[in-house]
Amino acid sequence: MSSVLLSVEKAEVVYKRAITAVQGISLSVRDGQIVALLGTNGAGKSTTLRAISGFLGLDDARVTEGAITFDGHRIENRPPHEIARRGVVLVPEREKVFQNLTVAENLAAPVPRAADKRRLEDQIYQFFPRLADLRGRVGGLLSGGERQMLAIASALMCRPRLLMIDELSLGLAPVVVQDLTRRLIMIRDQLGIAILLVEQSAAVALSISDYAYVMENGRIVLDGDRERLNSHQDVQEFYLGQSDGNGQDSTTARRSYRDVKQYRRSRRWYG
């Protein structure tokens, strides 16, 4: 079995010294593994990625308890550039690319003086041939899917050992998402890097992940491999929009999730 690359142990994140956004979460990512972090808006998924990558300081937040360890080194509350240098690279949910720079300039920005920059670019263009065709186009003129490709490609220029992607499928057509997930598997297999994927769409995340965690209200409420979560009743009802076995169709199931009281959801997860 591969070794643990990232370990988050009972981490708590507090904003403005008063608001607890993440409460005692624990998760791990092994070498070469694709791990998904699932949950609805406000569950704490993006905060978790920012805590791992060091970008909490921009929001006046800190990891106040617990530990985050990457490749044997404690990294909680360290500056982003130091964490990135160790091999943890984040593709954010928004503001993914430099809008006024071309595709080629975006790729050059992370490593302007790297000796093997050209080799890296050639390799990345093999993963994303569409970017090779668009290398002279400015980022602001790219489609949503092309921007997501460019954001992932720019992150790969930093030679990550752990690539974290916040909301891969947000605002993208299903056919584009399917193509991106296929390319992520190629990247993992050929480069041997681990991927931590934050997603609202459980169907997307569970289609490629080896392991997944479900977050609710800043806590991990469920975890398991792809098979376990795909077959779990609550995941099917609340995240996959499938029938609950009582004749409800997917539309009714999704509506039930939105309407269900919070305390009832919590009782189901923790019970």
Give the model's pLDDT for residue 94. Answer: 79
Give the model's pLDDT for residue 254. Answer: 40
Task: Report the alpha-carbon distance of residue 79 to residue 85 in Å, rounded.
Answer: 10
Give the model's pLDDT for residue 112. Answer: 63
Give the model's pLDDT for residue 100. Answer: 96
Give the model's pLDDT for residue 256. Answer: 39
Spell out, as residue ranges, where the chain has pLDDT lower than 50. Answer: 243-264, 266-271
**Structural domain boundaries of the chain?**
4-101+158-225, 232-271
Give the model's pLDDT for residue 97. Answer: 93
Give the model's pLDDT for residue 270. Answer: 42
Q: In what order do the strands lie in the sheet with 162-166?
A: 88-91, 162-166, 194-199, 34-38, 211-216, 219-225
Q: Which of 223, 214, 157, 145 is nearest to 187 (CA)?
A: 157
Cβ neighbours of 187 (radius 10 Å): 21
Task: Report the alpha-carbon distance of residue 251 to residue 18 in Å, rounded.
Answer: 38
Helices 144-156 & 117-127, crossing angle to 10 degrees? 140
The answer to whether 22 and 6 have CB atoms below 8 angstroms apart is no
Give the model's pLDDT for residue 230. Answer: 87
Q: Is it true that domain 4-101+158-225 has CATH number 3.30.1780.10?
A: no
